[in-house]
C-alpha cells in the first residue's frame, strides 16, 4: 500500500491517502500564493 502524502501542516499534519486520490479536489487562494506549483507537485506524487 502506498504511503500517505503530506499536504498541509497546521496544529497537526494533514495527509492525502493515495487510494482516495481519484476524488475531486479544490485548490483555492489569492494570486501569487503558489496554487499552480502546489497542484503540479501534488500531481507528481501520483
Alpha-carbon distance of 24 to 1, in angstroms, equals 21
Alpha-carbon distance of 5 to 43, in angstroms, equals 11
2, pLDDT greater than 90: no
* pLDDT score recorded for residue 26: 77
Residues 10-45 pLDDT 10s: 899 999 888 887 777 778 889 999 898 888 887 776
* pLDDT score recorded for residue 13: 95
46, pLDDT greater than 70: no
Cβ proximity of 46 and 18 under 8 Å:
yes
Residue 29 lies in domain? 5-44
Total of domains in the chain: 1
* pLDDT score recorded for residue 22: 76
Write out the three cell numbers for 13: 499534519
* pLDDT score recorded for residue 41: 81
Amino acid at each position: 500500500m502506498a504511503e500517505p502524502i503530506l499536504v498541509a501542516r497546521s496544529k497537526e499534519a494533514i495527509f492525502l491517502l493515495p487510494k482516495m486520490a481519484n476524488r475531486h479536489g479544490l485548490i483555492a487562494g489569492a494570486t501569487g500564493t503558489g496554487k499552480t506549483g502546489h497542484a503540479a507537485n501534488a500531481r507528481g506524487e501520483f
